[in-house]
Amino acid sequence: MAKVLFVVTGASYWTLEDGTRHPTGYWAEEFAAPYRELTTAGHQIVVATPKGVVPHVDVMSLRPSMAGGEEVARELEDTLRSAEELRRPIELANARLEDYDAVYYPGGHGPMEDLWQDADSGRLLATALASGKPLAIVCHAPVAMMATRHNGASPFAGYRVTAFTNDEEDAVGLREKARWTAEDELVKMGVDFSRGEMWKPYTVRDRNLFTGQNPASAGPLAKEFMTELG
């Protein structure tokens, strides 16, 4: 049995260009789908958040229209309700990579508020990348890579990566309101950015780094990095 660290945003809102706060958090499917895959296989999950706050689910992600139907929405709610780990997170600053076999970052717009500039997360990411252990990051969560920059350079530069695209941000009506986008900032960092179809599962692996484009990619991403856990 492996022990997997889920690093989850602690933000409940995302500050837009005009200073308004857009309610958000983590995206339900991006937590629930990998959680189900991993726990069903017998693996242990530990949740870490900045300052150990109990994470907020983006309520939009539980709406049937966003989740893919009434039944799917109910399944997501059931999974989140049963995931006791969400209600007793550890503090991200206290997470030690040596205690875990893999690290996973679910997205939602929350990381655009906190993880992109969280130094504890940045240190963990850089250490995880160098360790060779599976490191999986999905949707908006790849913006956490921005916190690994030192003197303008990041260890993720040159890696093949995907994330929530500008086209998808346009489709949800938030690109024009944002201070910056995940795709733009990752490209500036020097990653080799690629994309699949909007809203369809799309994952990229480069060495021990696994990234997924959008919520639909979270489940497939979990299946991929689980193969490394034995």
Write the burial class of residue 99 (CB in 10 Å: 0-12 exposed, 13-18 middle, 19+ buried).
exposed
The whole-number average pLDDT for the span 73-100 is 98
Domain ranges of the chain: 3-227
Quick: pLDDT tens for 49-84. 999 999 999 999 999 999 999 999 999 999 999 999
pLDDT in tens, 31-43: 999 999 999 999 9
Topology of domain 3-227, per CATH? Rossmann fold (3.40.50)
Contact status, residue 121 vs residue 113, Cβ threshold 8 Å: no
What Cα–Cα distance (Å) separates residue 202 from each residue in 19, 49, 69, 135, 144?
A: 32, 26, 21, 16, 19
Q: Mean of the per-residue pLDDT values for the chain? A: 97
* Token pair for 199: 């809203």
The helix (H) or strand (E) run that includes residue 23 is strand 21-23
Backbone angles phi, psi at 45, to 5 degrees: -115, 135
What span, in angstroms and rounded, lies between the C-alpha atoms of 191 and 154? 9
Give the model confidence (pLDDT) of 183-215 as tens digits: 999 999 999 999 999 999 999 999 999 999 999
Instruction: Note the pLDDT of residue 152.
Output: 87
